[in-house]
Structure 1
Amino acid sequence: MDSIKLFKKATDAISTIFLYILLLALIVGMAKTLLDIRFIIFESLESGFNHMVTSVLTVFIVIDLFKAFVDYHEHDRIKLTDITDATILIVLREIAVGLYSQEFGSEFVLSLATLLLVLGIMRVLAVKYSPAKLRESYIFVPQEEQPSKMGLRTIFDHCNPVHDNN
């Protein structure tokens, strides 16, 4: 068996296993989010809201990772936008958790905000300069004949300006 085919089969098997694990994590995350509603009802609204925000953002992270693995499984490539989306969600989750629990200092929040800004710029640039969009923007335009293949009369016609006699 060819080593490239073996590598392809191994990566397909591993990505399939990760897809099932992420699907299970997504189901468990949704169940945990639904169970966190009890914190809003039986405890304070602030504590319940903290649990809900953490759970929902965690589920969004798992959804983004799931999307990235599905894309890899189908197209054998990882999109930069999927990875930056997941990373942005992770940073947002950490900021939300830290702000609600009041654990972070101002320097740490500023560094996370800077990281978020850089990731946002990276995301915008990845969309703007996407290889798929670059391929679509190339339109086949037939090239003009080379001067060496044109006759002298044609070359002079291209060089001389056309005068309108009105």
Structure 2
Amino acid sequence: MQELVSKIYKTFVRLAFNITIVILIVGLFVGIYRTVSEIGLTASESTVRLGYKELVTNVLSLIVVLELIRAFIDFFEHERVRVDILLEVLIAFVIREFMLHLFEGKMSGVDVFFWSFGVIFLIGARSISLFYKVPKA
């Protein structure tokens, strides 16, 4: 009975992850299409700043989605979620948010210091996670 329940659970987890990967890939293609189609906005004189902001936002979002897809695919390869991959996704997301806030020009020197400290902390945590890998059970 326990083996049957375990098999059903693993099947549902794989199905959920497959659906998530498909959704992320579709979102990635939509993001790429949107980014390419909005390049024309950066060329027009009246919306140069808005066009650059949208372009930067879309490109940084694509990087985060790519990292998420890599994390899901890595789950299938190793049958577990690795902390170093999750930290890379988090680092990409934090850098995206930091760059967007910085691009808006609403940050003071102290804000830049704390965001930079947070990024350095996450990079340090990722480095530590590479040295202390948990053995596969």
TM-score class, shorter: 0.7 to 0.9
Counterparts of 2:84 and 2:50, CA distance in 1: 33
Task: Give the Cα separation in 1 of the matches to 2:8 and 2:117.
Answer: 42
1:81 maps to amino acid: D
Q: Which moved further from structure 2: 11-20 or 67-76?
A: 67-76
What is the aligned counterpart of 1:66 among 66, 69, 79? 69
Write the letter of the residue equivalent to 2:34: K
Length, aligned pairs only = 132
- The TM-score with structure 1 as length reference comes to 0.71
CA distance, structure 1, for counterparts of residue 77 and residue 131 of structure 2: 23
2:93 aligned with 1:90, yes or no?
yes
Q: How does 1:103-114 map to 2 (within 5 A)?
A: 103-114=106-117
Identity of aligned residues (%): 26
Higher Rg of the two aligned structures: 1
What is the DSSP-based 3-state SS (H/G/I as helix, E as strand, rest coil) of the residue aligned with 1:77? coil
Higher helix share: 2
- CA contact 1:16–1:73 (8 Å) conserved in 2: no
- What runs of 5+ residues in structure 1 fail to find an aligned partner? 133-166
1:160 match:
none
Per-residue deviation, residues 113-154 of structure 1 (Å, max 9, x unmatched): 22211101011112233347xxxxxxxxxxxxxxxxxxxxxx
* Corresponding residue number in structure 2 for 1:21: 23
Looking at structure 2, the residues matched to 128 and 52 of structure 1 have their Cα atoms a distance apart, in angstroms, of: 37
The residue that corresponds to 1:141 in the other structure is none
Query: Does 2:56 align with 1:53?
Result: yes
| 1:7 equivalent in structure 2 | 9
- Alignment partners' CA distance in 2, 1:11 and 1:124: 29
Q: Deviations over 1:21-61 (max 9, x none)?
A: 00111101111111221221114544332222211110010
Larger relative contact order (Cα-Cα within 8 Å, sequence gap ≥ 6): 2
**SS at 1:83 equivalent:** helix
Query: What's 1:32 paired with?
Result: 34
Q: CA RMSD in A?
A: 1.9
TM-score by length of 2: 0.85
- Residues 1:119 and 2:125 aligned together: no
Match of 1:102 among 105, 108, 111: 105
Shift of 1:14: 0.4
